[in-house]
Structure 1
Amino acid sequence: MTASSDRIKVLIAGICGLLLAVGVARFAYTPLLPLMRQQAGLGVAEAGWLAAINYMGYLTGALIASRIDSLKLKDRLFRIGMLVAVGSTVMMGLSDHWVIWAISRYIAGLSSTAGLLLGTGLVLNWLMRHNYRSEMGIHFIGMGAGIAGCAAAVALMDPVLDWREQWFIFTGIAAILLVPTLGWLPPPDTSGKTTSGKAMVDNPPSPAFLRLFMAAYFCAGVGYVVSITFIVAIVDDLPATAGYGNLAFIVVGLAAAPACINWDLIARRTGDLNALIVASVLQIIGILLPALSNSIAMVMLGAALFGGTFIGMVSLVLTMAGRYYPTRPAKMMGKMTISYGVAQIIGPAITGKLAEHLGGSYAAGLWMAAGVMVIGTLILIALKGVERRDKALSTATGLGAQA
């Protein structure tokens, strides 16, 4: 087995893990939401609470990931999380009771953390240990493909299957994805060195940088969760775009699939923070276009801008975390995701309540999300100054030590 083929298998394992835990276990809910409202009696506010409960599970998983140092334990929990992802998917079709759905969404949140944080951390650690470029654009194709694939699957199944049968089909897909996910990701190497013998050393950011970084990521989390959770329902509720919700979700996924690779290339030229600022501004535009225009073309452009930016921001942030902590990348990833996860609990619940008071419309949530993201963009701009100060201080300290 060549090193190149090993790398391909590890990347495919990571992609399938994201397709399973983040794509099927998490994102199948979004295109199925309108159908569950029509056929299963799911209310508007209850739908928002299910999304919030999902992120409570996500936040719980992030808290756990941020406290674990052992690569072997992370690997074990990742594999358990993939099994849980399959179980949470089948639960959605086994009952029409809201409490069962809530339990399913909570453990699906736990499993999505396993796929996104533990899986990403394990893949990134393997790449860095084997002297490959520490960019995760290829890996995060799994998120975009998961979004597009789930929406396309629902669009194909809607004419012939009810909501319950569709959840069972997704369970079968999840079981198939489980095979390469568990079979092709090797156990982690805990030697602390790369294959060429170079020591892997952590280089953490300053406390001030980390605090602001987490605040900016919180804002990004609000912007992400409102659109990703409710975009299908939002588009379907607009008179001029009724029936195009699934198409919008497919556009989000298609734009997201190659986005991380694109943002890796942009970050190489501009730097990570500049790339994050550009992505944030474009995402604000993408969030607001469905609220500003009833035109199908503008709504789809908004979906493309949103899909092409939110996943890029996640990829850039988690890759930066991995570079700061190459020996334990999931540790800082977990801390960053705590702030992202808190936002994802608050955002859907507020949006659901706003919709309840505004006759079922989710549009007000878009304006709230965009406003919070403006604040996040300003924080990212401020981070550039903190980064310059930290570099200057580090240089001065190094020169002082040499003297």
Structure 2
Amino acid sequence: MSIRTSLWIAAGLAMAPAIALGLARFAYALLLPSMRTDLAWSYTDAGAMNTANALGYLVGALIASQAATRFGAKRAFLAGLLLTAATLLASGLTASFTWLIILRVIAGITGAVAFVIGAAFTVAAVPRNKPASIPLAMGVYLGGGGLGIVISALVVPPLLALAGWRGGWIILGAVSFLGAVVALPALRRIQAPAPRPQGDGQKGWSLRFLLPVVVSYGLFGAGYIAYMTFIVAYLRSRGLDAFDISVFWACLGTASLIAAFLWSPLLARFKAGWGLVAALGIVTTGALLPVVFDGKTAAFFSAWLFGGSFLAVVAAVTSFAGKAVKPHALTAVIAALTVSFGLGQCIGPVLSGAISDGPHGVQTGLLLSAGILLIGAIVAIFQREPTLN
């Protein structure tokens, strides 16, 4: 399979992060201010919604490999996309806190299954004799998350004025169903990662070797999701209006799309954990800017820096896994990394939300987010380069 074909497949499979991340998770930040006002939520309540989604994502990561084996990787991938779309649609049909929590959990489970399998498909589509192309393929795949952010920035804010947050959820569900259809041609073309060779008793990867990346990825999960959950509410509290928020969110999504092509050659050159260190360093800077400096300029710079690097963290981790593990272990190791990421995401929103309900407000929760991201960058320094895959 040529590199061009691999990238075409990655672009189609990118509907998984577009739906699971861009629409099902990140777009919640756009709906949150309206939901908090209408439903009288505290920041802790608001954070609990994304913690529920993260808990589901953790469960989905744990079962993704088994689901791919039992039902077939392609069926599990498509089912994950369709079920995620259905939960978004259903979220616009209820105001019950309990039902919204349940739907967020389900969206997390199904989204994680699709994301993990899609990431394994993307790495497997790259010829084994061209590992330097893995970061580019993963950048294209993860660019789907940025596409989802841009789409939500275009469709959600106008609907809030016309149909409220319920209309926002319904349109997100409809767009997600369309995205599942777009993924079908690539899904038909891809081949599942090769199974473990007969007589090979090794699982193909070592948790001990990958431990710095695993821990760093978990810290990233805790830090970045707090920013993505509360940054819109924070900016609204600092005087930015609906138009400013739309521009901010569109900048963040556009930056993550462009970054797929800017980061890929850099990640191909970085050794050991230094690609992860670089990406996390810029994410941390982006998270700090709107807290340290006031005004629209700082907010928009934050959007470009954070948006241009947070998906690069995922690309750095997945690309490193592609170099460090055997082909048959890709789905399992990506699932294991996503479990760590999911654990961080479970902790981040509710911890940041609880702190944001304190006397110093959401600004303190965002500072905590940046601190956790910085620790993740420090941990990644200790990751060694794999000697042989």
Identity %: 27
Match of 1:95 in 2: 94
SS at match of 2:187: coil
1:72 to 1:127, Cα distance in 2 relative to 1, 3 A? farther
Match of 1:375 in 2: 375
Aligned equivalents of 2:190, 2:309: Cα separation in 1: 31
Q: What RMSD over aligned residues (CA atoms) do the two structures have, in Å? A: 2.8
TM alignment of 1:344-359, pairs within 5 A: 344-358=345-359
Q: Is the contact made by 1:71 and 1:328 (CA closer than 8 Å) also made in structure 2?
A: no
- CA deviation digits over 1:33-52, x for unaligned, max 9? 11212234443221110110
SS at match of 2:126: helix
Match of 1:197 in 2: none
TM-score of the superposed pair, with normalisation by structure 1:
0.85
Match of 1:176 in 2: 178
Counting matched residue pairs gives 379
What one-letter code is carried by the residue in structure 2 that aligns with 1:54?
N
- CA deviation digits over 1:52-97, x for unaligned, max 9? 0000000001111355673963322212111111111111111111
TM alignment of 1:100-249, pairs within 5 A: 100-128=99-127, 133-135=133-135, 136-186=138-188, 189=191, 192=194, 204=204, 206-239=206-239, 241=240, 243=242, 244-249=244-249
SS at match of 2:102: helix
Deviation (angstroms), 1:292: 0.4
Q: Is the contact made by 1:26 and 1:112 (CA closer than 8 Å) also made in structure 2?
A: no
What one-letter code is carried by the residue in structure 2 that aligns with 1:283?
V
- CA deviation digits over 1:182-234, x for unaligned, max 9? 343127646849xxxxxx9x995554331222111111112211111111111
SS at match of 2:328: coil
Aligned equivalents of 2:124, 2:265: Cα separation in 1: 20
Deviation (angstroms), 1:242: 5.0
Q: Is the contact made by 2:121 and 2:193 (CA closer than 8 Å) also made in structure 1?
A: no
Aligned equivalents of 1:68, 1:172: Cα separation in 2: 25
Question: Computing the radius of gyration over CA atoms, which structure comes out larger, 1 or 2?
Answer: 1
Aligned equivalents of 2:3, 2:128: Cα separation in 1: 14
What one-letter code is carried by the residue in structure 1 that aligns with 2:374?
V
Q: Is the contact made by 1:71 and 1:190 (CA closer than 8 Å) also made in structure 2?
A: no
Aligned equivalents of 2:94, 2:189: Cα separation in 1: 36
Aligned equivalents of 1:372, 1:6: Cα separation in 2: 38
Q: In the alignment, does 2:80 pair up with 1:81?
A: yes
Stretches of structure 2 lacking an aligned partner (at least 5 in a row): none
TM alignment of 1:227-306, pairs within 5 A: 227-239=227-239, 241=240, 243=242, 244-271=244-271, 273-306=273-306
- CA deviation digits over 1:125-177, x for unaligned, max 9? 23337978323111111011111221221223233232112222222212211
**Deviates most, 283-292 or 127-136:** 127-136
TM-score of the superposed pair, with normalisation by structure 2:
0.88
1:175 to 1:365, Cα distance in 2 relative to 1, 3 A? same
1:39 to 1:79, Cα distance in 2 relative to 1, 3 A? same
Q: Is the contact made by 1:24 and 1:174 (CA closer than 8 Å) also made in structure 2?
A: yes
Aligned equivalents of 2:178, 2:221: Cα separation in 1: 30
Match of 1:321 in 2: 321
Aligned equivalents of 1:85, 1:153: Cα separation in 2: 18
**Deviates most, 130-139 or 144-153:** 130-139
What one-letter code is carried by the residue in structure 2 that aligns with 1:74?
A
